Amino acid sequence: MGLFDRFYYGKAGQRDYTEANMPKSRLSLFFLVLKDHFFDLVKVNLLQLIFWIPFIFWTYLNIAAMQSIDMENTDAAGLLGQLSGYLMMWLIGIIPCVAITGPSSAGAAYIMRNWARDQHSFLWSDFKDAFKSNWKQALAVSVITSVIPLIVYTAISFYSELGKNSPILYVPMGIVLMLLLVFLCMLPLLYPLIVGYKLSLLNVFRNALLMASASLPWMILSRLITFIPIFFMGLGIYTANPIMIMVCMIYYLFFGFALSRLVYASFANGIFDKYLNPRIEGATVGQGLRPADYEELDVDDDEDEEDAENRVKTEVRPAKPVQKAPEKAEKSGKKGLGGLFGRKRDEDEFEIDDDDDDDE
């Protein structure tokens, strides 16, 4: 491999695990990946950061404009009106800024999905290939994501005003907030579904909704984990704490976007192993984890460490051959995926099959 190829493809970055030292849980695998790919995360983060520059710049301009408000000489109603105006302007402006980030999120999601399953990934080439092959669906997801904040803010403002005269109108506002929560829980699954399975856009959303609903506590936990630095960033801006703001900016500059994708990929892989992969012929369940039927060898206390290692090498049974993961149909040759919670169907149809247990 020449110098240019090494730069373009990079290193695969896959550990040479045997069944004896494979991690037992996805949490253990997550920290092993974090250790092995620490500096690679910085590279992936910088690739994503390029596409988030317009969002960061637009947000900075709006924060600077809000800070220029003369709060001492402005009454409460006037201050609230100005802040509401700036917020509405910011929400409108972020639509194109967030919309362009979708394809880069797909590229990062593909790399993180592989690392979170202990599969090799060539950083530059895989990012480019996943970007290129999934940009249409990823762009659609990011466009939808970009307009959701404006829709939610408009709905909350509208129903909160009407609710002052009729409290019953607070009910639709609560429904809007519940739908927002559901969408936020779906979002970490959308990009892994796009890069890992051949699905129409409608079925990507449909099955993300089904699996997010079935794993709601885990999805809420994943969002809370990635929300921690956002909370401290907002707290630093609110309290005008430059140190807190600087720390959060450094975090997002080098790690934030990529680390969030790794967290989402780890949760998504576990959910797919529970609800999706067992229904797909040839799909590997628990990729990167120690097999559930593996039995550890007992080592005598008086046995030499070197002899013990040799005995493990000779007595441990060979690892099962790794089956090809369910990639996009162009890569794996599959025409589609089986039904989520149900039987395999033609193309990419997914549906809940309540009679599945009776059929079996």
What digits encode the pLDDT tens for the residues 82-102?
A: 888 889 999 999 999 999 999
Alpha-carbon radius of gyration of the chain? 24
Q: Is it the case that residue 169 has pLDDT exceeding 60?
A: yes
Q: Which of 46-55, 158-167, 293-302 bottoms out in mean pLDDT, i.e. has the lowest?
A: 293-302
Q: Which amino acid, one-letter code, is at 114?
A: N
Contact between 268 and 192 (Cβ < 8 Å) = yes
- pTM for this predicted structure: 0.77
Q: Checking phi first, is residue 13 left (phi over 0); if not, alpha (psi -120 to 50) or beta?
A: left
How confident is the model at residue 74, as a pLDDT? 74
Longest dimension (CA), the chain: 81
> What tens digit of pLDDT does each residue of 294-337 get?
655 444 444 454 554 454 444 444 444 433 344 443 433 333 34
Residue linked to tokens 């149809």: 349
How confident is the model at residue 298, as a pLDDT? 45
The SS3 call for residue 338 is strand
Q: Which tokens belong to 64?
A: 């600077």
Q: Which amino acid, one-letter code, is at 124?
A: W
What count of other Cβ atoms lies within 10 Å of the Cβ of residue 62? Answer: 17
DSSP class per residue in 338-349 = BPTTS-B-STT-
Distance (Å, rounded) from C-alpha 182 to C-alpha 92?
22
Q: Please, which residues have CB within 8 angstroms of residue 202's CB and are 6 or more apart in sequence?
A: none
At residue 17 the predicted structure's pLDDT band, cuts being 50, 70 and 90, is low
Contact between 126 and 321 (Cβ < 8 Å) = no
Higher pLDDT, 347 or 100: 100
Q: Which of 114-118, 174-178, 254-258, 330-334 bottoms out in mean pLDDT, i.e. has the lowest?
A: 330-334
Q: Which tokens belong to 128?
A: 């480019």
Q: Which amino acid, one-letter code, is at 307?
A: D
Higher pLDDT, 194 or 82: 194
Distance (Å, rounded) from C-alpha 356 to C-alpha 67?
59
Share of the chain above pLDDT 90, in %: 48
Distance (Å, rounded) from C-alpha 233 to C-alpha 238?
9
At residue 292 the predicted structure's pLDDT band, cuts being 50, 70 and 90, is low
Distance (Å, rounded) from C-alpha 265 to C-alpha 259?
10
Distance (Å, rounded) from C-alpha 132 to C-alpha 171?
43
Higher pLDDT, 257 or 330: 257
> What is the rounded average pLDDT for all residues in the chain?
79
Q: Please, which residues have CB within 8 angstroms of residue 341's CB and are 6 or more apart in sequence?
A: 210, 275, 279, 352, 353, 356
At residue 230 the predicted structure's pLDDT band, cuts being 50, 70 and 90, is very high
Higher pLDDT, 127 or 240: 127
At residue 76 the predicted structure's pLDDT band, cuts being 50, 70 and 90, is confident
